[in-house]
Amino acid sequence: MNFPKLFSPLQIGPYQLKHRVVLAPLTRMRAEKPSLAPRPLNAEYYAQRATSGGLLIAEASPVANTAFGSPGVPGIYSEAQIAGWRKVVDAVHAKDGIIFLQLWHVGRVSHSSFQPGGALPVSASAVAISSEFKASTADGKLVDYETPRALETAEIAGVVDAFRHAAKNALAAGFDGVEIHGANGYLLEQFLQSRSNLRTDRYGGSIENRARLLLEITQACTEVWGAGRVGVRLSPYGIANGSGEPDPMPLYTHVVQALNPLGLAYLHFIEPRSSGAGRAEVNWTNVPSAMVLFRPIWKGVLMTAGGFSGEAAEAAIAEGHADAVAFGRIFISNPDLPRRLQRGFPLTPYNRKTFYGGDAVGYTDYPEHNELAQA
């Protein structure tokens, strides 16, 4: 058997995984419009990638109609969206797979064209993403990011409630758990990091204050699900969407230590080499490893993601740096990725042009490996 560590069992919360190859949460922008609910094509896509006892993390899903920054992404705040996701979950469960939903608020990584009434996006502070990055409007134009509106202190409880309500909706849709998106420069990371959080209230200033929103949302989701069915995703050294903490170790050490007592299903790190990898290839040289730095601090199951090959994933687990590895781009083009890795079958290359939007092309039309054709 190829990769014996990668294909050994793992307990995540109440779930016994049969292997440690996880589908990473991947934005694909193929929801039904205008409901922004998952449709049968989405159920087919996830079912293709489900394996008995394997974990899928469904794509980032906005927790409210104010939480969007991209067209065609599925939400988790309406009855139609719950119904659409239920069909996805049923299709995965029919193959004995396990599926979590990633809960998302983009904050300032948005544009007023996505916001109800054309309002400004919200963030921790009124700090715009620099002009080296471009925002997509609702009709697909690329423009400079607007300066967001800083959330009032009294409004923050509503953000927590939106995540709590989304967690309840995910439970109603039949998911097996949820993952909180605290990475890639989105709202929760905007609160975490000092360059985007200039607040002077209890949600700004000190590391403890900047981490407060993430921890309150995590607590809210664990009250809905139980801690063993909630994961958190972080990108300590990421630079996506204008993010980046000058010295990440103090901030993220505090966050990891604060999450430790909660008994979460897992903590999911994005390796910095992959920050922004959905948009373009990334220079991997001279970057630290999140899993190596935080493995000694985190006491629970540690998942990692970021451009891993089967060999690199096996080594990460064998060396004790991670317990599971989430695969993204090569799981897009290889729906049977676990089988291919385990049996040493060749991998189909992905087509970056079809990552976002569109229909079946580059989504559900990648074939499984045909052993008979290779004989």
Instruction: Please check whether residue 105 is in contact with residue 187, taking contact to mean a CB–CB distance below 8 angstroms.
Output: yes
Domain boundaries defined on the chain: 10-374
**Is 186 designated active site?**
yes
Q: For every one of its 375 residues, what pLDDT tens digit does the chain have, with 9 covering 90 and above?
A: 689 999 999 999 999 999 999 999 999 999 999 999 999 999 999 999 999 999 999 999 999 999 999 999 999 999 999 999 999 999 999 999 999 999 999 999 999 999 999 999 999 999 999 999 999 999 989 999 999 999 999 999 999 999 999 999 999 999 999 999 999 999 999 999 999 999 999 999 999 999 999 999 999 999 999 999 999 999 999 999 999 999 999 999 999 999 999 999 999 999 986 544 344 444 445 668 999 999 999 999 999 999 999 999 999 999 999 999 999 999 999 999 999 999 999 999 999 999 999 999 999 999 999 876 654
**pLDDT at residue 275, rounded to an integer:** 47
> In 173-228, which residue ranges form alpha helices assigned H by DSSP?
187-192, 207-210, 212-225
**pLDDT at residue 27, rounded to an integer:** 98
Q: Taking the mean position of all CA atoms in its chain, how far away is CA 149?
A: 24
Residue with tokens 């009855």: 79
- Cβ-based neighbour number of residue 359 at 10 Å: 11
pTM reported for the whole predicted model? 0.96
Q: Degrees (nearest 5) of the Cα angle 134, 118, 104?
A: 60
**pLDDT at residue 282, rounded to an integer:** 46
**pLDDT at residue 374, rounded to an integer:** 55
**pLDDT at residue 286, rounded to an integer:** 63
**What CATH class does 10-374 carry?**
alpha beta
Catalytic residue among 45, 77, 145, 186: 186
**pLDDT at residue 371, rounded to an integer:** 73
